[in-house]
Structure 1
Amino acid sequence: MTLNGKHALVTGGGTGIGLAIARALAAGGAQVTITGRRQEVLDEVAGPGLTGLAMDVRDEGDVVAKIEAAVAARGPVQICVANAGIAEGRALHKTSLEMWRNIMATNLDGAFLTIRESLASMRQTDWGRVLTISSIAGLRGLKGAAGYTASKHGVIGLTRALSEDYIGTPFTFNAICPGYVDTPIVSRNVDSIAQRAGVSEEKARDMMVSANRHNRLIAPEEVAAAAMWLVGPGSESVNGQCIEIAGGQS
């Protein structure tokens, strides 16, 4: 099986994990639509096999219109990577409803809308792969981040339910659950953790590194390699699974 001629959609594809996956898919022959809220960020990384399309996963109308446009331009979505997300941590008693809803709208509603609209065209084909990017926080509680943890647990629940809905069909649904990955999100969280914990930025970074069992940050390309396996030959029976990439058992 080759990815030549396959249309892949990667949300949050302008940076970090999403960009690494998008580049790997394009290198494998796919035509990849990368989305994000800022067109200028997407334009900076667009190139052969990569087309940027500004889209806000929180906005149902925008998701419907933009995925419809992507399908019209590059054919049915046969690889859907619901990656767009935000990582914000705050004690529950300090979490406003506005913050909670923004996390859910981005991480969970965004995955739901992206997958729903991608399936509209995928279901008309004879092969498809849906990958959600959850987190180790989707498998266990993450201290000081109840909203983020709940959203990522929800992403896994959505993925597992869809795998049951489509079991026996040529479509599979799997979640990738990374630990701390060396991305701009981690860099931004260094400041946040340092302020909340009253520690230096170096100490804050060490706290994230030590949360990975092998005591190093994970490269985005490691997550992309797992994604490529899940869309590649021999993965047909991997369905409804949570693939941990965290340097060891959680």
Structure 2
Amino acid sequence: MTRTLEGRHAVVTGAGSGIGRACAERLAEAGCHVTLIGRHIGRLEESSDRIGLEAAFVAPADVTDPDALAAAIEAGRDRFGPIDILINNAGTATSAPFLKTSADDLRAMLALNLEAPAEAARLVLPGMLTRRWGRIVNVASTAGLKGYPYVSAYVAAKHGLVGLTRAVALEVAAKGVTVNAVCPGFTDTELVARSVEAITGKTGRTGDEARAALAASNPQGRLITPDEVAQTIVWLCGDGASGVNGVAVPVAGGEL
């Protein structure tokens, strides 16, 4: 990885593990200073240790709390200066049949997977537009491009995030800012680990059988790695992708 983003300041939400941690590490390798946002300070500190204290700043916050999110972003701005890159990665999924998915369940999925990314974008876009350079990458999912059973609230939220990406991208297209989404398939993260636990608990399958069932959705017959998603994100942030705007890039081995 060459230092194609030297001196840029990136904010990564959900940076304590999985795709967020891999993304923060890859952005730092590309030359960024990185503000790490998430709920679990211990995990954020682990990410910071892996990156190095000079390049990383820990700003714990629950992204669904607008005041906490704003304070974390402002703290990062105080530490590293104007924000050039925003990676909206924080998210999770809850699983239930649609008829057992309550209105509160739906609101919770929308708050984390759609409203929080929108709020973060509102906080960083004005500066990007003033400087006429910026990159926003929303970590959606293949669930933002197709349907999956038993995760209807999550699917709805991620479809909304892809739609938000496309709409905002058109508004800023002539102003030096790009807005894109990446849509990973089943990825080897804690989210998939929880899905494996749910499958084994409900079906009696072994853990290996449950993982194989999830990997089967990928024509390559495997789970995606967090680093594959991270490298796609770093590419979208670089000058080589300056003409890529408003797209939702599947990282799913040909699933879509």
**What is the aligned partner in structure 1 of residue 76 from structure 2?**
70
Question: Which of 113, 116, 121 is the aligned partner of 2:119?
Answer: 113
Q: Secondary structure at the match of 2:136?
A: strand
Query: What is the 5 A alignment of 1:31-50?
Result: 31-47=33-49, 48=52, 49-50=55-56
- For residues 30-64 of structure 1, what are the alpha-carbon distances to aligned partners after superposition, in whole Å with 9 as ceiling and x for unaligned? 00001110111111221321222101110111111
Post-superposition offset of 1:85: 0.1
Tell me if the contact between 2:59 and 2:75 (Cα under 8 Å) persists in the aligned partners.
no
Q: Deviations over 1:174-228 (max 9, x none)?
A: 0000101111111111111223344333322111111112110111111111111
Paired residues, what number? 250
Equivalent residue, structure 2, for 1:192: 198
Aligned-CA RMSD value: 1.4
Runs of 5+ consecutive residues of structure 1 not aligned to the other structure: none
Aligned to 1:123: 129
Using the aligned pairs only, state the percent identity.
39
Structure 1 stretches (4+) deviating beyond 6 angstroms?
Answer: none
Displacement of 1:120? 3.1
- Please give the secondary structure, in 2, of the residue aligned with 1:46: helix
* TM, length-normalised to structure 1: 0.96
**1:125 deviation in Å?**
1.6
Letter of the structure 1 residue corresponding to residue 80 of structure 2: R
**TM-score, length-normalised on structure 2?**
0.93
| Alignment correspondent of 1:6 | 8
Shift of 1:170: 0.6
The residue aligned with 1:164 is 170
Aligned mates of 1:189, 1:44 — CA distance in 2: 24
2:27 alignment partner, one of 18, 25, 28:
25
* Preserved CA contact (<8 Å) 2:10 2:86: yes
Which secondary structure state, in structure 1, belongs to the residue aligned with residue 84 of structure 2?
strand
SS at match of 1:35: strand
